[in-house]
Amino acid sequence: MHSLQFPEYGSIYFDSASFGARHRIPLLDGFFIGPSLAPIYWAECAPGEGRWYKRRQPNRGPWTTFEAFTQGLLDTGVSYFPPETAPSTLEYYGTVEESLELLAALGKVTAELSKDPRVQMVSEPKLFHNDLHMRNIFVSRDDATKITGVIDWQSTTLDPVLLYAHMTPDLCISPRFTEDLLKEEGEEERNGNDVYETAATADVDRCRKTWELSLHVHARKLHDARALDEALLRPYRQCFSTWQYGATATRDVLKELSARWDELALPGQPPYQPTNEELHALDVGPDGWVPTERWDDVLELHEEFYNNWMDAARTAGDEGMTEEKATKMWPFDPPVSLGQIGRAG
């Protein structure tokens, strides 16, 4: 399947599907390439998420070039932005205006990256299933190596390989074994689970090696995309998820690429240049660490922010919020442990 060549991006339809000529690109007798069926383009596929099309009209394809496909990602990203920033939006998440500016910067960055031969080699359209996991695959009762059916096959898409380079099927992911699952079990039951965990981990390791070898032999384009530096590919995925992940995540993607522009052998200057204010917002060194001479000041500020966070959690009036939960939600180490580190040093 990976060896199949397709001329454009989108999804494959029967000729009987009711789309106008503007949304049809002939493929083979009885088929055409039409708008993409990937969930990111359709509001009804994402419960609880709204879409707004006053800034940009829906752009679901089909697309004849990679540049046009990338523009579709950007337009889709814009559609997630509400008309205005809600008062409840957390400060670190960013305003609508701020995030739109970052999305525009992503557009300039991807335009430059798309000229790079490494990106071009993994940008051609291939047939992909958006949710190809074990629960969606049927195999023969007599021979588990024979696939007899795939759930949601009708939602497959013709996408550039680079969009899937970060994905790993669930059969290659180690199962999770937590203390909560075993804490009430007896010693004999624990030993039984240890045996199961060891066997399952070995099975996953075999699947992972088989997966990587299969990509190398049968899906070389995807293998090559996975071998590329993520800094070259992440901006494309961020195009359609800027508002979902917030301004901080988008800025991080842009700043990393800008900082590594020369290291990645990209020509010229990076289209996105962080301001001095952004670079010094956390007052850390170029390696991301707090300077030693400012350690005590940072500890004091951290404790102040932590106490404000805990006070807000106590007075929020949310019955589900407890001090224990608020502590777990705090993204850094508690001030006490940080202070101990400082004294130990």
Q: For the ranges 64-73, 80-89, 118-127, 163-172, which has the lowest average pLDDT? A: 163-172
- Please tell me the predicted confidence (pLDDT) of residue 289: 63
Phi and psi of 211, rounded to 5°? -60, -50
- Of 94-103, 277-286, 297-306, the poorest mean pLDDT is in 277-286
pLDDT value at position 232? 94
pLDDT tens-digit map of 80-130: 998 888 887 777 778 999 999 999 999 999 999 999 999 999 999 998 887
Give me the pLDDT at residue 12, please: 93
Contact between 62 and 10 under an 8 Å Cβ cutoff? The reply is yes
At 141, which amino acid appears?
A: R
How far is it, in rounded angstroms, from Cα 46 to Cα 91?
25
Name the average pLDDT for the chain. 81
Give the range among 131-145, 223-237, 270-284 with minimum mean pLDDT. Answer: 270-284
Average pLDDT over residues 273-279: 74
Confidence check: pLDDT of 46 > 60: no
What pLDDT is attached to residue 177? 44
235 in Cβ contact with 257 (< 8 Å)? yes
Residues 267 and 244: their CA atoms lie apart, in Å, by 31
**pLDDT number for residue 159:** 93
State the pLDDT at residue 300.
82
Are the CB atoms for 96 and 45 separated by under 8 Å?
no
Q: Quick check: 44 pLDDT over 50?
A: yes
Residue 343 has pLDDT above 90, yes or no: no
User: Mean pLDDT throughout 206-225?
Assistant: 80
Kindly list the distances between the CA atom of residue 65 and the CA atoms of 70, 116, 124, 160, 163, in Å, as whole numbers in the listed order.
9, 15, 9, 10, 15
What are the phi and psi torsion angles at 266 (to 5°)? -90, 140
pTM over 0.85: no
Cα–Cα distance for residue pair 69/61, rounded to 1 Å: 7
Return the pLDDT at 319. 61
Mean pLDDT of 60-83: 94
Q: Is the pLDDT of residue 37 over 80?
A: yes
Query: Which token pair is 1?
Result: 């399947």
Q: What pLDDT score was predicted for residue 335?
A: 74
